[in-house]
Chain A
Amino acid sequence: MKPLVLTLKQEPDQRLDLGQLTPNQIEGKSVNEIAEIELQTTREKLTVGDIFKIRAGSAQSIRFEGGSLRLDNVGHEMKSGEILVEGDCGKNTGRNMSGGTVTVVGDCGPFAGSCMSGGKLEIGNNAGDFLGGPLDGEMEGMSGGLLIVRGSVGKRAGDRLRRGTIVVERSAGDYPGSRMIAGTLIVLGNCGQMPGYLMRRGTIALARPPELAPTFTDCGTHKLAFAGVFAGLLRPESPGAARLFARPLYRFAGDMAALGKGEIFFPA
């Protein structure tokens, strides 16, 4: 399938909302029609054609050649198909996506995968704060799908995570898994302070845990069937995460300051 290619002409002067450039929204549009789509920015009027050079192809596969930390909302409310960004993205990458695949080769800003409910978001390098988390006023963060960050992430990754799996292959900032409702968060590198702060339910697996808050209680070492199953399911996506789950795991239950039905695992 030949992809639709959007080549960035130059770094944009202002932040740009690319939320309209998803497969389900541009399906059936000609190159000219795509070029005329108006992008939300400041008072200045900008169209897709002003920013990108467009090469025709299937709308189900969109490739951005070149990226920028000013490109916001890439893959916003995406339902199917795939988007590949050969570069960086700004904030809210893959926000509210429910299906399909978004792959970013470079970095992402804050709120990557915010409130996503399905599909797969893969970030090749680092992501900012509140990975998968809700925006102000929203009650739930990510609620399904798979979010993989090959690099490191900022603070409060997986905030209010409700369902789905997040894998961070390098380090995470402070408070990862804060206020988690359920779901799974895996961090393979260093982990900042207070993982699982006020988590209700859900699973956090840390390859290198910091000192846990005193509101997490010791449940001992276990080799659980579920961990073996998860190792098998994770292996194609993240071999490191699979290795972590294949080992005997130490279990801490918490956060006892909240509901206390969550758990933090780390290698025994």
Chain B
Amino acid sequence: MRPISRNGVRIDDSFAEAFPMRGTAILITAPNRRWAMQAATTMTGFATSVIGCGAEAGIDHEVSEKSTPDGRPGVRVLLFSMSSDTLQTQLVNRVGQCVLTSPGSACFADLHGTDRLQIGDAIRYFGDGWQISKKFGNRHFWRVPVMDGEFLCEATTGLTKNAVGGGNLLLMGADPKNTMRAAELAVDAMNEVEGVVLPFPGGVVRSGSKVGSKYKMMMASTNDAYCPTLRGAVATSLDDDIGCVLEIVIDGLTEKAVADAMRAGLAAVIELGPDNGAVRVGAGNYGGKLGPFHFHLKDLLP
């Protein structure tokens, strides 16, 4: 079949296969942008893949002081995991170790919903009896005395069972320089979409994996079909003009958010064109048997 082409970029007739996840969102505020971003960055560190990190997390967007509950600059953080229990553990560990500890920080719920995850309800015990509960309307906060004043933390935040993890784009270019340029532009465009995070370093993963391995203890191993150095040695998926593949993985609070992010990324890569960017775009799947969400690239084209 002839591949689809847009602005000279070949688009695979393929789809990204994604899985249901549990997701949550919190808003971290601080006396200024630097420290709000610092707490958020620390909290979302080592959160690239549920396989090794327990959770996938990232920064959704900054929030201006006009829109935060306490009138200070804020950052919205999204956290995803495969089960509600793991998500709960990860949320409390990460807020407790990375936000509670960050100077001047406060932490608020940022997702509606009847399913709730504890934040302050668990972290309050750090107050050693000096913690103060404050309710107003349907909101419940905990004030925990700390060395720079008080850590203010909302008691609970919302949990969604409709989050989607594993949306992806495979950007294939002639060389690392051009491929990275395409990836950077795509990441910038996708970060504009609300309700998604790109959990890998700078949004990009260079070590895409396949299921299984020749070694018994490995559940996943390198995706040899997309390794350019193995092009002649294995059943490759790469064309002769491809020397580098970078993947962008997307987790979103909704299926629509993931689709919107993939659409934005595709548009950016296509606009850049093949000469300075990617010559071909594909997507990773497992034949459609494992994940219920299928994002077909041809449906997402500009």
A interface, CB within 8 angstroms of B: 144, 146, 163-165, 182, 184, 201, 203, 222-226, 228-234, 261, 263
Contacts and interface: CB of A to CB of B under 8 A. Distances in A.
A163 B29 CA distance: 26
B230 to A, nearest CB: 54
Contacts, number: 55
Interface in B113-133: 130, 132-133
A228 B133 contact: no
Given A144-B135, A146-B137, A229-B152, A224 B130 contact: no
Q: Name the prevailing secondary structure of the B interface residues.
A: strand
6 contacts: A164-B135, A201-B132, A225-B72, A225-B149, A228-B69, A233-B137
Contacts of A263: 132
Nearest to B106: A225
Nearest to A227: B70
Contacts of A223: 149
A146 B73 CA distance: 29
Contacts of A224: 143, 149-150, 152
Given A222-B150, A229-B141, 11 more contacts: A144-B135, A165-B136, A182-B133, A184-B136, A225-B29, A225-B72, A225-B149, A226-B143, A226-B152, A230-B136, A233-B69
Nearest to A246: B71
A45 B72 CA distance: 61
Nearest to A230: B136
A230 B106 CA distance: 14
B139 interface: yes
Contacts of B143: 224, 226
A38 to B, nearest CB: 37
Nearest to A222: B149
Contacts of B135: 144, 163-164
Contacts of B137: 146, 233
Contacts of B134: 184, 203, 226, 230
